[in-house]
Chain A
Amino acid sequence: GESVGLHLPTLSVQEGDNSIINCAYSNSASDYFIWYKQESGKGPQFIIDIRSNMDKRQGQRVTVLLNKTVKHLSLQIAATQPGDSAVYFCAEIAGNQFYFGTGTSLTVIP
């Protein structure tokens, strides 16, 4: 199967700072990528997606960057808030299936 991994398993940031969560993927044929947020005891929740014909996509306080040359995906969260504390997964879509990374645990320090 495909491997989707994260550079850091944990990340701690001060409230108000920006957060950057990274993800590496291995299948150059993947053409759709999604970031999910998973709070403790809950299912993953969609944050933002990006297709391979784009390099950047912005949402509300979040930005996803895609670098196809090095097969790298990042999620940037602006002005991180305590409610952003969660595990963040990236997923790549290859063929007809989703492949999820192991996740990065983000802790926001008040």
Chain B
Amino acid sequence: NAGVTQTPKFRILKIGQSMTLQCTQDMNHNYMYWYRQDPGMGLKLIYYSVGAGITDKGEVPNGYNVSRSTTEDFPLRLELAAPSQTSVYFCASSKQGRDEKLFFGSGTQLSVL
């Protein structure tokens, strides 16, 4: 049981490039989330999903897209990378949502130069 797995761990992008951050969980959790963590700031919710085929915006969705074709996978897409997207990204999952603790992946450190 690996929990929540994120890839890659590190990535450097040039301005305007695109990439997909991968996230998969093997706990059969319905809810999945993407957060970004900036220095000195709390985690900010980018997008979340309550189940396969259902996604919704969080607090800071601009510049990102997501899809949820399966229960296990929840990739995050950056289409036109900008320096403001330099951050550490965390994927998380929970079984039912608001009354359940979140399980986090180990994070992706992204730099946009």
Contact indicator A44/B42 (Cβ below 8 Å): no
Of B40, B43, B48, B101, the residue contacting A49 (CB under 8 A) is B101
With an 8 A cutoff between CB atoms, is A89 at the interface? yes
Q: Could you list 23 A-B pairs, sorted by A, with CB under 8 Å?
A: A1-B59, A32-B99, A41-B107, A42-B106, A43-B4, A43-B105, A43-B107, A44-B43, A44-B90, A44-B104, A45-B104, A46-B102, A89-B43, A93-B98, A95-B98, A96-B97, A97-B45, A97-B59, A97-B98, A98-B45, A98-B102, A100-B42, A102-B41
**Consensus secondary structure, chain B interface:** loop
A 58-101 binary contact with B (CB < 8 Å = 1; else 0): 00000000000000000000000000000001000101111111
What residues of B have a CB within 8 angstroms of the CB of A32 in the complex? Answer: 98-99
Chain B: number of interface residues, binned into ranges: 20 to 34
Given the complex of chains A and B, what is the CA–CA distance between A89 and B40 in angstroms?
Answer: 12
Contact indicator A4/B104 (Cβ below 8 Å): no
Count A-B contacts at CB 8 Å. Answer: 52
What is the CB-to-nearest-CB distance from A25 to chain B, in angstroms, rounded to a whole number? 12
Contact indicator A96/B98 (Cβ below 8 Å): yes
Residues of A within 8 A of B (CB): 1, 4, 32, 34, 41-46, 49, 89, 93, 95-103
Given the complex of chains A and B, what is the CA–CA distance between A100 and B48 in angstroms?
Answer: 15
Contact indicator B42/A99 (Cβ below 8 Å): yes
Taking A42-B106, A43-B106, A44-B90 as contacts, is the C-beta distance between A100 and B101 under 8 angstroms? no
What is the CB-to-nearest-CB distance from A43 to chain B, in angstroms, rounded to a whole number? 3
What is the CB-to-nearest-CB distance from A7 to chain B, in angstroms, rounded to a whole number? 15
What residues of B have a CB within 8 angstroms of the CB of A4 in the complex? Answer: 42
B 83-113 binary contact with A (CB < 8 Å = 1; else 0): 0000000101000011101111111000000
